Each structure stands twice: as structure tokens, then as C-alpha cells.
Structure 1
Amino acid sequence: MKRVLFLLSVIAVMLLPMAGVSAAESDFSERVSGMAEITAVRVNSGADKIRIVVDASKPIRYTTMTLKNPDRVIVDIQGAWLAAKVKRQISVDSRFVNDIRIGQFNKNTVRVVVENKVGSNNYKVFPLAGGPVPGRVVLDFGNLNDSSKTVIATPDVKKPAATKPNTSSSSSVQKNPSETKPTSQTRKPSSAAQTQPVTPTKPAATTPVSKSEDIDGPAKDAAGTGSQTAGNTSGDKGQTNSNTNTGNDGAIISDDTDADIAALNGVKGKKITIDAGHGGNDSGAIGPTGVMEKTVTLRIANELRRLLVAEGATVYMTRTTDTEVSPKGANASDIEELQARCDVANNTKSDIFLSIHMDSFSSGAAKGTTGYYYSLGSKRSRDLADKVRQGVIDQIGTQSRGTQSCNFYVVKHTDMPATLVEVAFISNPQEEQLLNSEDGIKKAAQGIADGIADYFG
């Protein structure tokens, strides 16, 4: 009897930490319920200004203030919590901004601090309505008066031209030796080649940033405050404006502003070929519940096209429906089918080529995301593969299987930087379910789009 009681007490002690974790997770979920999640802080540098865009999961309210010594602009976002994936600090190589920091100022407020070189008259903070992100706040620093060509940055800055912001993508190669993937070098993709480009309409995406300093306590010496709701009202430098869809200078926030974001992003104007793997009589791999690779890749490709067009890219699709790419259709050989896909990118002189696939293995335990590039290809192909892989992982939370070299036909016979991304394992029940959902498709496409934007910088 004593032995039984002892065993029961041991089991109870072991279960206590688990109960604590569960309670903590429950408390967190309850606390952030109804709050806006800050999902990214994107940075783009132009010749005359640097633009910082804070993305949120819903419309948000915020206040602004300025501090001196050094000059800082502070934006406090109310009723918000900061996603773990957002970096807390970035040092910006810019004429206009030194440093950007972001942190959870208190349990209900996310604070963004921008240390800048432009003083109190050459920045703007305004909300942005519409577009692919529910809530956005934009911070511009630089030569904001179009009639002025004066360089506003302080004279100790060495570079007179716009510079490229840091990105959050990892370039490290990670491998999981316990899960090797048998892949044919002539994976047969698919598609009815669409060489009529899909052309742009709207904005762009880039990278997260930040850290904490003025983030850890109440700000002092505030030069002014303003209160606004992203997508509704705005204010700046102590002014509040209640006019719907207006910026802090009274300008209407419209599609032109979205276009301005896109213009600062390297994706705008780029020609991109998207290849949805398999199709027609080639189903690709099939998951445990019957989900086919060709269906998942096409859904991701079509959503990715929508995102890239909105960001200003010209997009070419190897296929937009469930069909083969080669004019010979089902009668084409593997090589003819693969070459037809390469021809779409080569004939349109695309800037990059991206082939979308789902991985598969005999064991349902295999999982994760892999980026591939041609083993004898350029460093830019490796960079593209790495950034796309990381973008997917950031969005859908899969395990990284690294960026690996390969001899796949479609990345070997394209004339531009090219990558083949294995988004996840369709043979894994959980990943099959994820990529058969609307949410999973959208997140996978967004991850690829983020990686492409990061690549073009």
C-alpha cells in the first residue's frame, strides 16, 4: 500500500509543471483576446526617405511623441501585443534613421522607437487603411517635401545614397540527418503555360525589426503626443486629426500611398515566374487522407500570384489550372514537361523562377520545409532558396530542413536565379491537414512572398 501511495505522489509531482504550463498558456490567451497582434515591422529605404511600416492583425489606435538627445520618435500602439517572431531591434544603415526598436512597453502597449537624424520637421506618422494587412501604421523619415532636394541627414553620414535595410532571414544551412528525403532529379511539375503576365495593383512586404531601451519605462521630455486609429484617424507632433482616412499632413490616404510602399520595395516591377508543381495526369505525392500534391501547389501558386501582383510584380504562371505545361499534354515525356516549364521563365526573361512542391517520405513522421537550388548555380539562387524557405517557416511554423543544393531539372535549366521549395510533407498527417486548409494555403503563400521581397530587398 505504501508503494502505491508513493507512486501516486511521484506521478502527481510530475504532472504539476504540465498543469502550470497549461495554466500559463490559458492566461496568455485570455489576456491577448481581443487585442491586436503586431506581426511585423517592415523597412524600406529610398533615395529621399526611409519608410517603416508596422503591421497589425486588426485596426489599431496609437499615440506619438518625440524625445531629444538623441532625437527619437516614439509610437505607442494601444491594445496590442508583440508577436515573438518580430525582432526587437535593427540598426539601419540610412542617412535618416540610426536605429529602430520595438518592445512590449506594458501589458497593453507595444512601443516603437525610431532614433533619427532628421529633427522634428521631416517625419510623418500616419495610418493606412485597406490592402492585405488589416492594420498598418507608416512612419516616413527624410526629404518629405517634394520641392526640396536638400539632404536633411546629418553631415557625418558617409553614404549619400539610399541603403539596403537589414533582413531577418537566416542564411545558415540546417539539416536533419534522421530524415533523409529520396527525391527524383526529374520531378515532373505541371502546367498550362501562361505567358501573358499578370500585372500589378498594390503594396509590398519586407522584414521585421527592433529592441528596447525607451521601451522599458515611461517616456520623459515628450515634445508632444497625438492619438489615432490606424485606418481611421491620425495625428503627429502633438496634433490629433479625426478625419477619416487622412494623414498627419491632411493628405488623403489612398491607393497612391500603397503604391508608394510598393515603389520602395524591390518586388515592384520585377518579372517572376511561379511554377505549381505537377498537374494534369501527374498528381505528385498523395497524403494519407488522399490530398494530392498537384492541388496544394496550385492553390499556393494562385494565392502567391495574387500577393505578388498586389506588391507591384509582373507574374507569369506555368499553369493556372489542373493541366500539363507542355503542348503535348499527357503525351509529353518527363523532360519535355520540365523543359516547357523552364521555357516560360526563359522566354519571358523573368528575374526569378520559383517552383512550389510538397515533400513526401515513406515514414509519416518526416516533416519540415526545405529550400533547393542548383548545385552549380549562382550564389543568388542559394540566397533566394534560403530566404523563401525561411519565409515559409516564419509563416506556417514548420521545422527547418535547411537550404540544400540539388540537380533538379527546373532549377538547372532556367537562366535566372531559381529555387524549388518543398513547403511541407504531404505524407505527414499534420502537415497534410495544414496545407489542405485555407489558412495554411494563405500563410504558405505569404511566407513565399515574404521571402521573395526579402531577396529583392
Structure 2
Amino acid sequence: MKRLFFLLYITALAVVFPFAALTAEASDFGDRVSSMAEITGIRDSSDADKTRIVIDASKPVTYKKMVLSAPDRVVIDIANAWVSPKLDRQLDLDTNFVGTVKIAQFDPQTVRVVVETKVGRNNYKVFGLNSGTVPGRIVMDFGNLTDSSGAKIDLPEKTPAAKPKAETVKPKSAKQEQAQKQEKKEPEKSKDPTNKDEELDEELAGITGLKGRKIVLDPGHGGSDSGAIGPTGVMEKSVTLRVANEVRRLLVKEGATVYMTREADIEVSPKRAKATDIEELQARCDVANEVNADIFVSIHMDSFTNRAAKGTTGYYYSLGDKRSRVLADKIRSGVIDQIGTQSRGTQSCNFYVVKHTDMPATLLEVAFISNEQEEKLLDSEDGIRKAAQGIVDGIADYFG
């Protein structure tokens, strides 16, 4: 099957992607983010009157805010910024004024902060601090604040439990006593402690546009088909599955429904190793078509006889769904932003899996497994995690 992909790839390369493109200018991650602010910290403090949340950045930042559900949530979008991988993405504060705070890379240029708050619309404020000693900082206060007129804002207070009134004890009937005993035997149903987190995950998912989306991930190759093999023996089929599994984890966390064409080192066709190339590829398409998926993403590692070849490419079928090119472009850009590979562009192709799926579809060549540096990158946990995050960022950008 790899031979089929290779022939198709060479054909597309000869027509629309001349060899000179191999020397195209690299899109180095460090250069790309040099003009962006890194979000390096998020911290909080609380007292009886307010909860303060502080977001630290490596340089001055600008932001926009939104209020949702009057306002059950306050959303801050920080422009031209990226989240440090070392940063905790969630704070569970559960103060009188703030519940949970979440921070995520909303798109390649925007960091989104979502604050679950219990205060009214005038009981919070957001402001920035930029100075010589403080490169970039956003401060959010929630609580019993003073508005511009100097009047104190009243917040709803917790109602103390009422003391039970003294009652005259009446003798119980045998039937009442039996019912009371039965009631004591039945354990009180405890609330699911994960419900709150699940609800917040759903809220964030709704904001990023992934909630409820049906997404099919196709880890390339598998079973008897190893795909390309890198200089040190790393197999394409293992890298694609590792990346796809991490993409699935991230997408499910954001509320999407994810289907995998394969979840193990096997062929997708029921015929397994006896399947023809076409039967195996059609089986992958069938997974997406049968569930009526919103998008189809096939994940591959590229390979070339010249080991100097490198970079990330997004492919789409030009005669298919018109949104496929946008999907391919968004995902390619997301991956490049995360792993810093060279951009080889978004190219039209005739690959079977993107031609025979009924929804927007892309085949992503994450990097060149034939290139020693890119093989090493994608055989590392950090590389897998970043590549997966890039794919998710691109998908979120597509639906956003």
C-alpha cells in the first residue's frame, strides 16, 4: 500500500510541487513566536471581598473580553500569544466568587481564558499592567468591588441554615417506624464529584466549537503495512497511531466525539493482511461515511529518497468538499506552529482516502520520517504531544 501512496505522491510532486521547493525557507518555531507573548503564569489570591486572578506574559499583551450567561462565565482572549507547555491549564478555586479557571490555545495566535464566576455583571473588572519591571500582565478581580460612582456593590450572601423549630413529638405508628428504618438503610446518593469538571469542559468545548463534533481520525498504515521506516528503524505506522491517540484524548476532552479507523497495530479491512490496497483504503473511508462524520483526518509521516527533505504538508482532494482545503490548511498551520517544521504548503492530491470520503477531508504528512531530525522529533513524547496539539489547534480553528 505504501507503494501506491508513493506513486501518487511522486505524481503530485512532479505536477504541482517542483523539487526546488525542497529548499524553501524554513518556518522555524522560534522565529514564528519571537514576536508573540508567551503566557508564562496564572495565579490567584482571595480574601473576604474578592478573588484576584493574574496572568503573566513575557511581553505586553492586548486582550478582548466576553461575558456569557450574564455572566456565568467571563472569557478573555489574549491576542498574539501562546501558552507555555509548563503552565497548568486549569485552576479549581471554588471561592465565594470564582469556581474554575481554564486557559487554552484557542487558535495559533490567541490564548483564551475562561473564568466561571458567581458575581453579577458589574462585580468584576479586568485591566492590564505593562511596565519596565512587568513585561505583560492581565489582572482580573471578581467580588465585592466599588464601581465608578463609589457605591458599594452588594453580592448575594450565603443564606445560613435555619435552626429547626421545636416541635411536639407525637408517637409514631408501627407503619411510620418501619418506613423510617427503611429510609435510614438507604444510603444518601452523593453527587458525582466529576460533574462540575465535566460541565466546565463542556462550556469550554462550546466556546472552541468542538463540542458535539463527529471527527474520524485515520492513523496511516498498520498491521502488515509498516509504512515508511526512518533511518533508525522507527516505523510510520507506530508514529501515526501514537499521534492519533493523543489527538483523540485532546478532542474528547473538548467535547468532540472521535472515531478511530484503527486503535491498534492492525489493518482496518476485515480481511486484514489479505486485503488489497483499495479494500484497505476503502475500509478507512467507510468508517467516516457510515457515522456521517463532520471531518476526516488521515495522519501520516512523509518519506523521500533524499534525507534532506523535511517539513509538513497538508493534502486535500480539489474536486471534493470545498471546505477540505481550509481544513487541510488549518491543520497544517497548527502543526507547524507547534513543532516548528518547514511548511511545504497545502497541496491538492488524488489520494484515495480524501477522494472517497463524503465530508471535508485531509491527509496530513506531519513530518519526514526519512529525515533524521524529524524522525527523532516524532519518536519523542514531546514531539508526539506537540504534533497532536497542533492538529487539535487546527481542527478547533476550522470549526471556530
Q: TM-score, normalised on structure 1? A: 0.53
- The offset of 1:369, in angstroms, is 0.5
Q: Alpha-carbon deviation of 1:338?
A: 0.5
* Structure-to-structure mapping, 1:56-67, within 5 angstroms: 60-61=43-44
Give deviations 1:423-443, integer Å, cap 9, x for gaps: 000011110000001111111
Distance in 2 of aligned mates of 1:99 and 1:226:
10
For 2:262, give the aligned amino acid. Answer: R
Aligned CA distance change for structure 1 residues 275 and 100 (closer, same or farther; 3 Å): closer
Equivalent residue, structure 2, for 1:138:
114
2:223 paired residue number:
280
1:351 aligns with 2:294: yes
Deviations 1:389-427 (A, max 9, x none): 011111111111111111100000000000000000001
Q: 192, 201, 206: which is aligned to 1:263?
A: 206
1:370 counterpart residue number: 313
Contact 1:305 1:315 in 2 (8 A): yes
Is residue 81 of structure 1 aligned with residue 58 of structure 2? yes
1:437 alignment partner, one of 352, 371, 380? 380
Residue 395 of structure 2 is aligned to residue 417 of structure 1: no
**Distance in 2 between residues matched to 1:312 and 1:402, nearest whole Å:** 30
Deviation digits for residues 342-393 of structure 1 (CA, Å, limit 9, x no counterpart):
0000011111100000001111111111111002123310110011001111
CA distance 1:88–1:357, shift in 2 (3 Å): farther
Matching residue within 258, 269, 289 for 1:315: 258
Name which one, 1 or 2, has greater alpha-carbon Rg.
2
TM-score by length of 2: 0.60
Residue type of the partner of 2:291? T
Shift of 1:306: 1.0
Greater mean alpha carbon deviation, residues 401-410 or residues 255-264? 255-264
Going from structure 1 to structure 2, the CA distance change for 1:103 and 1:392 (only over 3 Å counts) comes to closer
AA at the equivalent of 2:43: I
SS in structure 1 at match of 2:385: helix
**Which residue of 91, 97, 101 maps to 1:128?**
101
- Cα shift at 1:303: 1.0
User: Which amino acid counterpart does residue 77 of structure 1 have in structure 2?
Assistant: I
Is contact 2:301-2:368 (8 Å) kept?
Answer: yes
User: Does the 8 A contact of 1:274 with 1:355 survive in 2?
Assistant: yes
CA distance in 2 between counterparts of 1:453 and 1:250 reads: 39
Structure-2 separation of matches of 1:88 and 1:59: 14
AA aligned opposite 2:229: I
8 Å CA contact 2:328–2:362 kept in 1: the answer is yes
1:396 paired with 2:339, answer yes
Provide the alpha-carbon RMSD of the alignment: 4.3
Using the aligned pairs only, state the percent identity. 59
C-alpha deviation, 1:128, in angstroms = 2.4
Say which of 427, 430, 446 aligns to 2:370: 427
For 1:140 and 1:405, the matched residues in 2 are separated by: 43
Residue-by-residue CA offset, 1:268-294 (whole Å, 9 max, x unaligned): 111111000001111111100000000
Q: Distance in 2 between matches of 1:98 and 1:291?
A: 43
Q: Deviation at 1:129? A: 6.7
Q: Measured at CA, do residues 102 and 332 of structure 1 come closer, stay the same or move farther in structure 2, by a change above 3 Å?
A: closer
**SS of aligned partner of 2:307:** coil
Write the distance in 1 (CA, Å) between the matches of 2:205 and 2:332: 22
Aligned pairs (5 A) from 1:95-114: none
CA shift in 2, pair 1:281/1:263, >3 Å: same
Aligned residue number for residue 450 of structure 1: 393
Contact 1:392/1:444 (CA < 8 Å) preserved in 2? yes
Distance 1:214 1:58 in 2: 14
Preserved contact between residue 341 and residue 410 of structure 1 (Cα < 8 Å): yes
2: CA distance, partners of 1:373 / 1:132:
25
- Offset of 1:238 from its aligned partner? 4.5
**Counterpart Cα distance in 1 of 2:62 and 2:140:** 24
- Matched to 1:320, the amino acid is E
- The Cα shift of 1:257 comes to 2.1
Label 1:306 to 1:132 Cα distance change in 2 as closer, same or farther (>3 A).
farther
Amino acid at match of 1:371: G
Q: Taking structure 1 as reference, are residues 237 and 434 closer, same or farther at Cα in structure 2, changes over 3 Å only?
A: farther
Following the alignment from structure 2 to structure 1, what is the Cα–Cα distance between the partners of residues 352 and 333? 23
Say if 2:297 is the partner of 1:334: no
Asked if the contact 1:272–1:351 (Cα under 8 Å) also holds between the matched residues in 2, the reply is: yes
Change in CA separation of 1:75 and 1:102 when aligned onto 2, cut-off 3 Å: farther
Mapped contact 1:127–1:137 kept (Cα < 8 A): no
